[in-house]
A and B are shown apart, each in its own frame.
Chain A
Amino acid sequence: MNVYDRYELPPDKADLHRRAVRLEWWTIVFFVCAVALLAVTLGQSQAMKAAWIEDMLGLVPPIAFLIADRYRNRAPDRRLPYGYHRTVNVAFLAGSIALLGLGAYVVYDSLVRLLSGERAPIGLVELLGVQLWLGWLMIAVLVATMVPAILLGRAKIKIARELHDKVLYADAEMNRADWLTAGAAVAGVLGIGLGLWWADAVAALVIGADIVRDGVRTTRAAVANLMDSRPQVVDGTAEHPLPARLLAAVLDQDWVADAWLRVREEGHVFVGELLVVPSRDDGLVERLEALGVWARDFDWRIHDLVVAPVSHIDPAPADR
């Protein structure tokens, strides 16, 4: 048995993964452009600052994804005998905390502005010899940054579901947060234009609260992941069905009297232990080994499964 084997995605998933990597590079290009463009139009106004900080934080999940991508398929070695799959979990945590931090910043910033009754000045700008209100230029830039964020987010969320990739999912959420804050900033600039000084802060506050909620949810999921929680589906709304299906299939084998399965998520893949109570002893070693191979072929997510025979299994009260 080769205990140092690498993990490779099945060909169709590998294709999807390559697409995800390309999307993430495009995301980085987009955010760098957006940060530069917003910096130029920012002026003295506080209104667009949240959208700007947002775009800077938006770089965290794609960078985390691409760094994790460099490491996750490395074979286990002496220092890291469980392999490198968990880099994906670490990246997921980083992305989630970036999302949470962004939401907290937006809420804090808009509360301060609201309570201090701050009024944003937006004056005149001269563009190619034409004088126009800077607010129009701000709105144009914000809308221009919204469109790619919407498209990138939609493409990523589909791939994230297929690949069971939580980093990509957190990143897609970040893109959603991004175009929502840009939308709020557009509303805010229009509000300032209408002489409603509070409109901008109120819009940002509503969006900020929404981002905080998303951030809390994904951070909880990321921490639970590192605590070896039961595998969840990629958006964290339900238990993953695979472990139950695998256990049922194992129990279906005619030489298995009883079985118990414990798996955790290491990035895309599931890793864990399978205890079986054999009903007969002939060729047990070969059958256990074959069961291990069979389990790995059962689904592409099952990767590292230790199969051990036991004489009997006490039903644990925690196993509902």
Chain B
Amino acid sequence: MWHALVLVVVVAAGCGLPRDVDGTLDRVRGDAVRVGVAENAPWTVVGADVPGAEVSGAEAALVRDLAVRLDARVEWRRGSESTLMAALTEGELDLVVGGLLDDAPWTEQASLTRPYTTTRVVVATPEDVAAPDDLAGVRVAAPAGSTESAELADKDAAVVRVDDVADVHDMPVAVDDWRVVPLGLRSTRHVLHEEKHVWAVPLGENAWQVEVERFLADLSADEVVRLLDEAQRSSR
């Protein structure tokens, strides 16, 4: 029995495991990758839903790099996360991007890749504002309608809800760590939460998933930050 098992493993290794159930990787290579994209600036900016309109954002740029690597075109499909995930399950899409996080509830519909980058929401201070030791009672600006606002409220900070923290210059702000330096801020030791970013691929297309994950694993963190910064600038 042991010999049989060893033999199977060796043979399987020779055959280039894993393979796709529906052969996605073979189909995509040299042809087209069908990407579902949901708006989530600066990760993805879908633009106008007219033929020829460009999808932009950091993840859109990364998808184009992946397509180059596979010698394939990108066919963008715009939609909400819900509709895109349903289409992915039914095999109408090969990839869904849109600033997805690793705790997304789509595990029944899709396979989430390994996180390829982690961003942190931190409390940062403008040049002439002292870093608070304790957030209790301190006025801190945070985007309205965000989890950061709630987390600051939990820490008894006096939350000032704003449209964009870039416009705040007189108090500490809750902001993504990659925006700290471009905005001329200084980080404090207060980290509110981490976000682990993933993409979604169809369930069971394991060769395709491994190819996508290899691409994502080879990315450098600096490259992702550079793309995010670029996307953020062009959107303002």
Contact = CB atoms under 8 A, between A and B. Distances in A.
B59 to A, nearest CB: 18
Contacts of B15: 194
Contacts of A121: 111, 201, 203-206, 209
A202 interface: no
B204 A120 contact: yes
Interface stretch (B5-13, B150-158, B163-171): B5-13
B17 A194 contact: yes
B21 A135 contact: no
A277 B146 CA distance: 92
Interface in A175-223: 183, 186, 190, 192-197
Contacts of B213: 123-124
Given A123-B113, A135-B17, A194 B217 contact: no
Contacts of B107: 44
B73 interface: no
Contact of B12 (A120, A124, A143, A194): A194
Interface residues of B, number: 28
B17 A193 contact: yes
Contacts of B205: 121
Main secondary structure, interface of A, reads mixed
B225 interface: no
A123 B207 CA distance: 8
Contacts, number: 77
A133 interface: yes
Interface in B1-55: 5, 8-9, 12, 15, 17-21, 23
B21 A195 contact: yes
Given A133-B18, A194-B12, A126 B112 contact: no
Contacts of A118: 203
Contacts of B210: 123-124, 133
Nearest to B111: A121
B214 interface: yes
Contact of B217 (A131, A195, A196, A197): A131
Contacts of B207: 195
A193 B207 CA distance: 8
A193 B19 contact: yes
B217 A192 contact: no
Given A123-B113, A123-B210, A192-B206, A197 B21 contact: yes
A126 B217 contact: yes
Interface of B: 5, 8-9, 12, 15, 17-21, 23, 107, 111-114, 201-207, 209-210, 213-214, 217
